Amino acid sequence: MTPSPTLILYGVQLRSRLMLGTSQYPSPVVLAEAARASGAEILTVSLRRESARLKEGQDFWKLIRDIGARVLPNTAGCYSVKEAVTTAQMAREVFGTPWVKLEVIGEADTLQPDVFGLVEAARILSADGFEVFPYTTDDLVVADRLVEAGCKVLMPWGSPIGSGKGLNNVFGLRALRAHFPDIPLVVDAGLGLPSQAAAAMELGYDGVLLNTAVAKAGDPVAMARAFGQAIEAGRAAFLAGPMEPRDMAAPSTPVVGKAVLT
């Protein structure tokens, strides 16, 4: 596969490989400044959370429109196939987009996806014309079933949502990249530091989606900018072709012409 200089998701060409969540920010102003500083062209929005804003809703949508980013609605907080499908259908009406970040949560403490429900919901939504971005684990079999269900993007977790632990299973993420060379792969959830985002990109991943690490930072705007820079650096390193690690040292200074003492 020849890496594309731009990210293409469901036929949409993007310059930025960072996707940013919109929850937990200190204020709408900080959210807007962080989004612009990051360079992100996709913002994820929870239909449930924004529906609860009531009168604040119109101001929020104006803010999103002013930022100029594409909205990726998500089904956050859904624990069943029916709930996720219904939420996605409502989001399509509200946002006017077939895109949906599909979440079907199976375990409350880790927010680990219910992969069985996820595949079922992905199949239903894909058949209904949705362009599905599934939040999944790093399981190869599940990933294959999601592709069979119609998903043209896969979003495996780095670690549990909001944990900041980074890439818990580098082997699994590397295996996914090797098995799906032509499917856009985006690490979604669990990243806490720009270095972790760079590490994901160095594995050959196509993008990163995060929220808490920026929203809860001491300076969200500066952190958003740092993540944007780290993702660019990680992608550049991957394209440059990193050296293979070695168990033994390899001298960087040639020994030819070195004096030999007897």
Report, as residue numbers or ranges, the catalytic residues.
Answer: 101
Strand order in the sheet with 155-156: 155-156, 131-136, 99-102, 70-74, 42-46, 18-21, 207-210, 186-188
Alpha helices in 45-169 (DSSP H): 47-51, 57-67, 81-95, 115-127, 140-148
How many angstroms separate the CA atoms of 235 and 201, rounded? 5
β-strand pairing of 12-14 with 7-9: antiparallel
Tokens for 99?
């895109």
Helix H or strand E segment including 33: helix 28-38
Identity of the residue numbered 43: L
Contact 117, 81 (CB under 8 A): yes
